[in-house]
Amino acid sequence: MSEENKNLEHKRHTLAHLLAAAVLVEYPHAKLTLGPAIDHGFYYDIDFSAGETPGDEDLKKIQKHMKKMLSAWTSFDHKEVSADEARGVFAGNDFKLELINEIENKGETITLYTAGAGTKAEFTDLCRGGHSENPAEEISADAFKLDKIAGAYWRGDEKNPMLTRIYGLAFDTKDELDAYLTQLEEAKKRDHRKLGKELGLFSFSELVGPGLPLWSPKGTTFRREIDRFVTELRQEKGYELVTIPHIAKKALYEASGHWQKYSEDLFKVRAKEGDDHDEYVLKPMNCPHHTQIFDAEPRSYKELPQRYAETTMVYRAEQSGELSGLTRVLSITQDDAHVFCRETQLREEIEAIWDIVDSFYGKFGFELKVRLSFHDPEKKEKYLGESSTWEETEGMMKTIAQARGADYFIGIGEAAFYAPKLDFMASDSIGRTHQVATIQLDRLLPERFDLTCINESGEKERIIMIHAAIAGSLERFAAVLIEHLAGNFPLRFAPVQLAIIPVADVHNKYATDVYTTLKAAGYRVEIDTSNDSMGKKIRSAKKNKLPYFIVIGDQEVENNTLTLESRDNESNETITLENLLHKFAEENN
């Protein structure tokens, strides 16, 4: 972490203390528990007495206390105390007592931190440290803001009591806070859950269950076009589609090693009532199945690389409390692909996947940064295989990144234990960063499944695998894309591409002819012959974020033309049907 980041984190941590101190002014019976710095700010988890729990409307009051007390916090001192001493200070607070006992049992030092010592704002908390030395001076009183209240289990465990979590936002300057608030505001308008409903893309059903989205015809068109786009880009690079079922015997995951590591997070499947052994597993990923297609017959080196792509759902058991919109779902559609190749083919295959990633994210205007996730040469024991192999592969990855002029950085220790990877990060239109595609090399599964090819010398040669999802999870990518574009999808990806609006009934015939021609050309067109007013029809097309609409009145019928209006600007254009078809053909890919 940079010095600058560390300072900001100290400020946020300090503000968590300040929040706690301010809460006690208003709610003297509240029991404090834990309050860390987090991304964009801080929080504190507090156990309020029954009937005393504050609501969002109380935040202003608490914040006022914070600002007042801040000016008195010119120092932050600490002292080491014995466990008994600490227990004395926090007598009656079971949460703090639990923490003290734990520190004592670990034989660690117990420290108390006091801010504003000797003033009316004096406040002491059990803490490991990491604060601003002079909060009054360092922290700008208008660069933080209490944000919201939520529930949280003590130590995140649902078996524990529910506490009240108060969140705050904090930055170095008011400008940064304001910019973040604007981003939040903008993100709220673009929230994919809200837009998804407004645009009729997907829904949830209580009977089906949370985290299990149901995609309407419109949503399915949108998903399908994303998927087709990936498939086309892959086809150019020689990828072929395969098909696997969604379940497998537990034996498959024992062989892959997933059972030993992740069995808690797997959905187990069983057939008969009362049958208590888990015969099948709902697949959490596709690689083990794909190895079995590769391994269905002996492979000559001449057949390599084998490049298998498949868009298919995987299932991972999440707590239902963690499910949200399309970003946390139980059914994850992966546009997955696995390359089975020789070590000598690795570079070319990585470059091909990188090309696909660039084309895909570039299409939607995302800016990509890539992390070269390498092993940590100081912790060789954590990694599988020879150092020289690691270094060679990582060197090659770096060479590719440089040759492409990619915006990259190196993440030491970020590799999987079995091979390095490339992690792509996309910046969206409101400045947020999303981790997207990954190119993961894999020398482990080929070992575990004994995957080989017969080489030029007639000998078995161990092959290497590459995991290469592009959109990754279609659900999560759809959420990111909806918010990035605020629902204004490019022509190809728009569920409905054009609305035809006849001004009056006499224009219906001409409008219908235009409709039929566009439909026959494969476009997704709607015609609005309802009795609604022109204004209402146009507003409806705009509300549904259709890329284009055409209005057909006397003039259009007379001149055999169309008046085309675009979602993206207010101007309109007179165009012949023929030219519209040309325009669409050019834009629709």
CB nearer its own copies, residue 246 or residue 398 = 246
- Select from 61-69, 209-217, 421-429, 505-513 the region that touches its own copies (CB under 8 A): 209-217
Could you write out the three-class secondary structure of 304-366? CCEEEEEEEEEECCCCHHHCECCCECCEEEEEEEEEEECHHHHHHHHHHHHHHHHHHHHHCCC
Residue 521 as a binder of its own copies (CB under 8 A): the answer is: no
Residue 214 as a binder of its own copies (CB under 8 A): the answer is: yes
Task: Give me the 464-503 binding string for its own copies, x by CB under 8 A, dash otherwise.
Answer: ----------------------------------------
Which helix or strand (DSSP H or E) is residue 227 part of? helix 217-235
Residue 268 as a binder of its own copies (CB under 8 A): the answer is: yes
Give the whole-angstrom CA distance, residue 28 versus residue 46: 12
Sign of CA pseudo-dihedral 70, 72, 76, 81: negative
Of the residues 141, 150, 162, 208, which one makes contact with its own copies according to CB under 8 A: 208
Query: Catalytic site residue 345?
Result: no
Give the whole-angstrom CA distance, residue 45 versus residue 33: 6
Residue 217 as a binder of its own copies (CB under 8 A): the answer is: yes
Residue 247 as a binder of its own copies (CB under 8 A): the answer is: yes
Residue 172 as a binder of its own copies (CB under 8 A): the answer is: no
Residue 134 as a binder of its own copies (CB under 8 A): the answer is: no
Catalytic pick from 127, 287, 341, 453? 287
Give bridge partners of residue 502 from the DSSP assignment.
552
Report whether 549 contacts 539 (CB < 8 A). no
Least distance between its own copies and beta carbon 73 (Å): 46
Q: Which of residues 297-356 bind its own copies (CB under 8 A)?
A: 297, 308, 313, 315, 317, 330-331, 333
Question: Which of 413-449 are b and which e, b meaning 16 or more Cβ less than 10 Å from the residue's Cβ?
Answer: eebbebbbbbbbbbbbebeeebebbbbbbbbbbbeeb
Sign of CA pseudo-dihedral 559, 564, 565, 568: negative
Strands 525-527 and 498-502: parallel
Report whether 41 contacts 81 (CB < 8 A). no
E-only strand ranges, 518-561: 525-527, 548-552
Catalytic pick from 65, 421, 476, 545? 421
Residue 454 as a binder of its own copies (CB under 8 A): the answer is: no
Which among 114, 95, 97, 91 has a CA at the least distance from the CA of 48?
Answer: 95
CB nearer its own copies, residue 120 or residue 272 = 272
CB nearer its own copies, residue 222 or residue 366 = 222
- Select from 12-20, 89-97, 157-165, 201-209 the region that touches its own copies (CB under 8 A): 201-209
- Select from 172-180, 202-210, 386-394, 573-581 the region that touches its own copies (CB under 8 A): 202-210
Residue 205 as a binder of its own copies (CB under 8 A): the answer is: yes
Q: Who's near 218: CB < 8 A, 6+ residues apart? A: 199, 200, 201, 495, 496
CB nearer its own copies, residue 164 or residue 291 = 291
CB nearer its own copies, residue 110 or residue 330 = 330
Question: Judging by beta carbons within 10 Å of its beta carbon (0-12, 13-18, 19+), is residue 520 exposed, middle or buried?
Answer: exposed
Owner of token pair 């029954």: 50
Query: Catalytic site residue 338?
Result: yes
Catalytic pick from 467, 484, 537, 545? 467
Give the whole-angstrom CA distance, residue 496 versus residue 523: 8
Give the whole-angstrom CA distance, residue 479 versus residue 188: 13
- Select from 33-41, 292-300, 387-395, 433-441 the region that touches its own copies (CB under 8 A): 292-300
Of the residues 54, 213, 325, 446, which one makes contact with its own copies according to CB under 8 A: 213
Catalytic pick from 131, 165, 338, 545? 338
- Select from 162-170, 220-228, 540-548, 558-566 the region that touches its own copies (CB under 8 A): 220-228
Structure tokens at 201: 């893309």
- Select from 6-14, 275-283, 367-375, 486-494 the region that touches its own copies (CB under 8 A): 275-283
Residue type, 166: I
CB nearer its own copies, residue 14 or residue 291 = 291
Catalytic pick from 316, 434, 476, 484? 316
Report whether 215 contacts 201 (CB < 8 A). yes
Find the DSSP H helices in 364-507.
387-403, 445-448, 474-485
- Select from 22-30, 63-71, 197-205, 336-344 the region that touches its own copies (CB under 8 A): 197-205
Residue 206 as a binder of its own copies (CB under 8 A): the answer is: yes
Query: Catalytic site residue 17?
Result: no
Residue type, 518: L
Residue 244 as a binder of its own copies (CB under 8 A): the answer is: yes
Least distance between its own copies and beta carbon 297 (Å): 8
Owner of token pair 């439909």: 519
- Select from 138-146, 218-226, 335-343, 362-370 the region that touches its own copies (CB under 8 A): 218-226
Residue type, 149: I
Least distance between its own copies and beta carbon 482 (Å): 16
Cis status of the peptide bond prior to 502, with omega within 30 of 0: no
Structure tokens at 198: 């407004």
Structure tokens at 272: 């008969």
Of the residues 209, 362, 365, 431, which one makes contact with its own copies according to CB under 8 A: 209
* CA-based R_g, the chain, Å: 29
Query: Catalytic site residue 84?
Result: no
CA 49 to chain centre: 37
Catalytic pick from 334, 428, 443, 453? 334
Give the whole-angstrom CA distance, residue 17 versus residue 437: 39
CB nearer its own copies, residue 41 or residue 284 = 284
Query: Catalytic site residue 467?
Result: yes
Residue 520 as a binder of its own copies (CB under 8 A): the answer is: no
Residue 506 as a binder of its own copies (CB under 8 A): the answer is: no
Which chain residues interact with its own copies by CB under 8 A?
200, 203, 205-209, 212-217, 219-221, 223-224, 240-249, 251-252, 255, 263-264, 267-273, 276, 280, 282, 288-289, 292-293, 295-297, 308, 313, 315, 317, 330-331, 333
Residues designated as active site: 287, 316, 334, 336, 338, 421, 467
